[in-house]
A = this chain, B = another copy of it.
Amino acid sequence: MPSGSAPTARTRIRRLAERAVYEQAALYAVLDAAYVCHIAFYDGTSCHCIPTACWRDGDYLYVHGSNGGRLVRQLTGDNEVSVAITLMDGLVLAKSAFNHSMNYRSAVIYGRFEVVADAQEKRRLLDGFMRHLLPGRELQARPGNDKELAATSVLALRLDEAAVKIRDGGPEDDAEDMDLPVWAGVLPMQLMGQAPLAAPHNTVAAPDYVQTWAGRNVG
């Protein structure tokens, strides 16, 4: 992480501090596994929480949207944002109700989005977005033309102030509960690809990333 990324008061996890990991690799891994982030911003009257697709390139998280859309309008108004990404990994079943938990990976980033103005850089980043979803797809889909590119905003959030929080492993039961006749352990969960559905107008053979989609871990 850049030198300015030391934990601030906001990103220092106050509770369960042992779960906080401030390392760049962990942050990148969470962002790179995600399809969507949730963006919180305050418009002067209300707070909003908006889900949108995201991807990482270097030390930035990127989102994109239609120029005229509310998301782009709000995020380019110099509003400070808080962006959260959460990946569910499992249910943690303890012997007591109180000690139940969940396994997850999450990241929170604070900052301000900047507009990517350069058309060539926008193209490069949007190709990267497609590669993030399906490596190779960016070489096959018809690229955006000038009109489409002009209608799309790409917004960049520098990963300067970010925290990662991960919970994994089994339940932690209290000593007095250890012998209760209750099943204890973890029920893992995983986002998995399901059988692809070709569109009615599709006439071409499925490429590799489509053929191997079903049954693959995809998040």
Contacts and interface: CB of A to CB of B under 8 A. Distances in A.
A49 interface: yes
* Number of identical protomers: 2
A47 interface: yes
A171 to B, nearest CB: 6
B36 A86 contact: yes
A183 B171 contact: no
A96 interface: yes
A90 B134 CA distance: 12
A197 to B, nearest CB: 5
Interface string A169-180: 011010001101
A47 B42 contact: yes
B188 A170 contact: no
A200 B93 CA distance: 13
A86 to B, nearest CB: 4
Given A185-B197, A190-B191, A197-B188, A97 B46 contact: no
B202 A183 contact: yes
Interface residues of A, number: 95
Interface string A81-101: 111101010110111111010
Given A49-B38, A141-B94, A206-B183, A14 B70 contact: yes
A142 B95 contact: yes
Contact of A42 (B42, B130, B170): B42
A173 B189 contact: no
Interface in A86-140: 86, 88, 90-91, 93-98, 100, 102, 104, 106, 108, 110, 126-127, 130, 133-134, 137-138, 140
29 contacts: A14-B69, A14-B70, A35-B88, A36-B102, A42-B42, A42-B47, A49-B82, A51-B106, A91-B133, A91-B134, A93-B134, A96-B143, A97-B142, A97-B143, A97-B148, A98-B148, A98-B152, A100-B130, A142-B182, A173-B201, A181-B203, A184-B198, A184-B202, A186-B196, A187-B193, A187-B210, A188-B195, A188-B197, A191-B192
Closest 10 pairs (CB-CB, A-B): A40-B40, A40-B49, A38-B38, A188-B194, A49-B84, A51-B86, A185-B198, A49-B82, A184-B199, A98-B148
